[in-house]
Chains A and B, each alone.
Chain A
């Protein structure tokens, strides 16, 4: 399955076409983008088990944990990722705590 991903990076939006051979979490898709498409993408995670909330971001317009949420396209055909709206964004999906 090919997943079309849009990432809001503040000054611009990056688009990626990611090959997902199986069901993946949003964090796994971000890892794939970092490793195979764009090493400059900035995001944070820690526990990977849904406890620490370090990886929280906007996923298709709603706040959710990227390590728990399965990666799926929204109604516009894109998986859309953005930093949480409140507070200062350091870079890409990384918020200041």
Chain B
């Protein structure tokens, strides 16, 4: 890690660590190994679950190295909320990983839990108060052509493949454009799905709903990535290595089945929301 984070080495933040591993692998110096033997007592004490998981899979970190690579672990973006978890949609509250913006370009370890505790409580209190003065909202039933061609779990796999191939740790502008094009192809497949079971807890229905959300989320992420012409935190575009100043949010809004992108400067006090 001397090359990538000379001061902090392996204690670098996870965005830098992931970029380092992906760079070494991309340049043909992989695979990358984790050697925890010198600090194994600390690992056993602070990461007992991970230590046991490796051991159960045949790798004893006390005496041997483990091959490692970065994986998608957390999404920093998400639904825009105010300080009480209220979204722009009246009566819709969000908290935790589904909400965006709290962590900036890179989340620090353990902050997701405190985010859930603080914003979960705030959103819950506000939602409970809101429900005292509101009527139930009825949702439109899902109308599906069940006799189409594509199985929902296959569509999910395709989205995972596209995002892994073109929206990974190291990105290029060309890859982002390719991702968007492939997501558009996948969107059409969602209108032509094959579902054989509509019983309660049908995995096919769950997979269809998840595939729909994954496609929309992937499209919003890719569009945001294309519009962010810089590298910042976990977004590392090798065509734009520098950070832009001032920092700005990229907001994506859905209307009339189209995603619209807005840029908004990051301010220290964002209690008022204009967009």
Using a CB–CB cutoff of 8 Å, the interface residues on chain A facing chain B are: 34-35, 39-44, 49-51, 68, 90-92, 94
Contact = CB atoms under 8 A, between A and B. Distances in A.
A34 to B, nearest CB: 5
Contacts of A40: 196-197, 199, 202
B216 to A, nearest CB: 21
Per DSSP, are chain A's interface residues mostly helix, strand or loop, or mixed? loop
A39 B202 CA distance: 8
Contact of A94 (B153, B197, B201): B201
Interface in B167-218: 196-197, 199-204
Interface of B: 49, 53, 56, 151, 153, 196-197, 199-204
The 7 A-B pairs of least Cβ separation, nearest first, read A40-B197, A42-B201, A94-B201, A39-B196, A34-B203, A91-B201, A91-B200
9 contacts: A35-B153, A39-B203, A39-B204, A40-B202, A42-B199, A42-B200, A44-B201, A49-B53, A94-B201
B196 A50 contact: no
Contact of A90 (B53, B56, B197, B201): B201
Nearest to A35: B153
A40 B204 CA distance: 8
Contacts of A51: 49
A68 B56 CA distance: 9
Given A42-B200, A50-B49, 9 more contacts: A35-B153, A39-B196, A40-B199, A40-B202, A41-B203, A42-B202, A42-B203, A44-B201, A90-B201
